[in-house]
Amino acid sequence: CRVVTLLVGDRLCVLACSLTVLSVHGLYSASDDVVELNPSNFNREVIQSDSLWLVEFYAPWCGHCKSLAPEWKKAATALKGIVKVGAVDADQHNSLGGQYGVRGFPTIKIFGANKQKPEDYQGGRSGQAIVDAALNALRSLVKDRLGGKAGGSDYGKQSGGGAGNKKDVVELTDDNFDRTVLDSDDVWMVEFFAPWCGHCKNLEPEWKAAATEVKEQTKGKVKLGAVDATVHQGLASRYGIRGFPTIKIFRKGEEPEDFQGGRTRSDIVARAMDLYSDNIPPPELQEILNEDVLKKTCEDYQLCIISVLPHILDTGASGRNSYLEVMRTMADKYKKKTWGWLWTEAGAQMDLESSLGIGGFGYPAMAAINARKMKFALLRGSFSETGIHEFLRELSVGRGSTATVGGGALPKINTVEPWDGKDGVLPMEDDIDLSDVDLDDLGKDEL
C-alpha cells in the first residue's frame, strides 16, 4: 500500500492509498554474485565474452523464479571466477527475452562456444545441480577448444569471419525491391549503404549477425536486406536517402519508417523482435470448463482477465458473440502483456463469482486477477472496447482499487460442457398425462 502525503500549511494531508497489482521488484541486487543483464550490457558481457555463461530469464512476479533465486545466488558464488552466472528481468526487458525465444519463467540458457545459439538448461533447480551442469558444460567447451573448435564469439569482427550468414541479408536492387519487399506480407528492415562508407563497413558484421538471428527467432517473418545506394540510385532517390548507412522499416501497406535505434546486433535484433511481436497472434480466449483451465491460466500468467457473460437465454448467440468479440479485440490490443483471457456464463461458476464480489447481477462483468497476490480488480465502466481499455490501462500503471480474492485462494470450479455456439433452449417440462383423470370428480372432497 502506498500512502501519498502533502504538507499543506502546517498539516500533513493523506491523499491516496492504493494497492498495486503489478508492482514488483527484481530478484537480484548488486551485492549478489549474479550479474544483472539488460539490453544495454548483454552484448558486451555475454555475446562478446569468451567465458561460459549461465543466464536465467525471469519475471519478478513468478513464484518458481522466487524459489530459484537463492539457489541461483549460491551457484553464482560457487562458480565465481570459473563460470559467469547472470539474470535478465525478462518482464521488464521483454525484447531480450523474445530474442531468445523465452516463453515461460524461469528459462535458463547456457551460452557456450556458439553464443548465437545458446543451449536450453534442462537440469535440476538446486544450487548443486546448477553447478554440476555448469562444470559439465565447461568441460565440453574446453574439450572442443582442444579439438580445434573455436570458442567464444566471432561477433563484431569484420566480414570474412563474423558470426551470421551473409546469405541471410537479402541483396535488394531496383529490379527486385517492389516484388521482394513491398509485395511481401513479412516485415523488412532495409539498410541503404555505400561501399566506401566507413560506418557502413562497421555496421556490416552487425547487420549480418542480426540477420541470421532474426531469421531464426522470427521464423523468417522479419527479414533484413541491403541496398547498394551508389548502384541503385533510383531506390535511394525514391526513399530520400541522404546519408549512409540509412535503415528503413517496411510493412505492407504502410509508409516506411526510419530505424532510430543503435547499430549493434543486439539493438537490431531487439527492434526486429518488437516488430515481430506486433504481428504475433493474440492469446487464446478460453471458456472456463474445469478447474485446470482456471488454474493453469491464472498461475502461468501475470494476470488473468475473466469475464462473466449473461446467460445464453438472455442474449442469444449473437449477443454472446458480440461480447466475445470485444474480449478478442482487447486480447489482441494487449497481446504483448503476459495475460491470460477467460470467460464463463453467469451462474455456471457461482463460487468464482462470489469470490470476486460479482454476486449474481450486473452482467457482463469483468475481473483481473493476480493469482500470486490473490488480489483482483473489477471493471467499473462499460463492457466496451473503450471501457475495458481504460480499466486495463489503469491496471498497467498500477492504479485502480483492488481487493483480496474471497477465501484467499482460487475457488472451486465446476466442470461444465462447452458452449455449442447456438442460441439457448428453454428446458422442457415433463408432460402430464391426464387421460386417466375423471375431471367430474375433481373438487368433490372439498364440497
Query: How many Cβ atoms sit within 10 Å of the Cβ of residue 117?
Result: 14
Given 1, 17, 200, 304, the catalytic residue: 200
Catalytic pick from 17, 197, 298, 304? 197
In order, the DSSP letters of 195-229 are: TT-HHHHHHHHHHHHHHHHHHHHTTTSEEEEEEET
Q: Which residues of 279-298 are buried (b: 16+ CB within 10 A; e: fewer)?
A: eeebbebbbbbeeebbeebb
Q: What is the DSSP string of 324-339?
A: HHHHHHHHHHTTTS-E
> DSSP secondary-structure letter at 8?
E
Q: Pick the catalytic residue: 17, 65, 298, 304? A: 65
Q: Where are the beta strands (DSSP E) in 310-439?
A: 339-345, 365-370, 375-378, 403-404
Q: Is 197 a catalytic residue?
A: yes
Active site residue 65: yes
**C-alpha cell belonging to residue 242:** 541522404
Show the CA angle centred on residue 405, arms to residues 400 and 408, nearest 5°.
135
Please say whether the beta carbons of 33 and 130 come within 8 A: no
For residues 346 and 359, what is the distance between their CA atoms, to the nearest angstrom?
10
Burial of 135 (0-12, 13-18, 19+ CB in 10 A): middle
C-alpha cell at 386: 473503450
- Distance separating alpha carbons of residues 393 and 397, to the nearest angstrom: 7
Query: How far is residue 432 CA from its own chain's centroid?
Result: 58
Cell readout for 428 is 422442457
Phi-psi region of 312 (alpha: psi -120 to 50; beta: other; left: phi over 0): alpha
Peptide bond into 106 cis (omega under 30): yes
Q: Which residues contact 72 (CB under 8 A, 6 or more apart)?
A: 28, 34, 56, 85, 87, 127, 130
Q: Which of 268, 205, 196, 259 is nearest to 231 (CA)?
A: 196
Instruction: Catalytic residue, from 1, 13, 17, 62: name it.
Output: 62
DSSP strand pairing (2-8 vs 11-18): antiparallel
Active-site residues: which are they? 62, 65, 197, 200
